[in-house]
Amino acid sequence: QKEVEQNSGPLSVPEGAIASLNCTYSDRGSQSFFWYRQYSGKSPELIMSIYSNGDKEDGRFTAQLNKASQYVSLLIRDSQPSDSATYLCAVNVKGPGYSTLTFGKGTMLLVSP
């Protein structure tokens, strides 16, 4: 069973702080990693993808990947109340013929003004 683990939270940070969200995965063969943001009552929205070790930055978001440690993280700088949502980590798992995404249970982030 391929697993993706996340702390369910909630993670509470004040406005302007850095929020750090973490994820570990069990399948060493995974090659693609994604972070989705899901607001209450809405569908998941892709915010970051990362495929190689190191950091990838996009605006206030930085994804970090360490395949040796099977660890992926998302940093949100200058957190805003509008960042309050559940963040889902997803890992691509290879199957016969094609790969599918396995999702963690998500971490709820609360940014207080």
Partner 1 sequence: SAVISQKPSRDICQRGTSLTIQCQVDSQVTMMFWYRQQPGQSLTLIATANQGSEATYESGFVIDKFPISRPNLTFSTLTVSNMSPEDSSIYLCSVRGSASSYNEQFFGPGTRLTVL
Looking at 19-27, 59-67, 77-85, 101-109, which segment touches partner 1 (CB under 8 A)? 101-109
**Binding characters for partner 1, 11-50, by CB under 8 A (x = yes):** ---------------------x-x-x-----xxxxx--x-
What is the smallest separation between the CB atom of 81 and partner 1, expressed in angstroms? Answer: 22
Distance between CA atoms of 30 and 74, rounded to whole angstroms? 18
Chosen residue from 88, 91, 109, 111 binding partner 1 by CB under 8 A: 88
Q: Comparing C-alpha atoms, which of 70, 89, 64 is closest to residue 29?
A: 70
Long-range contacts of 98-102 (CB under 8 A, 24+ apart): 99/32, 101/34, 102/2, 102/3, 102/4, 102/25, 102/27
Chosen residue from 25, 63, 104, 109 binding partner 1 by CB under 8 A: 104
- Please, which of residues 55-84 interact with partner 1 by CB under 8 A? none
- Which residues in this chain contact partner 1 in the complex, by CB under 8 A? 32, 34, 36, 42-46, 49, 51, 88, 90, 98, 100-101, 103-106
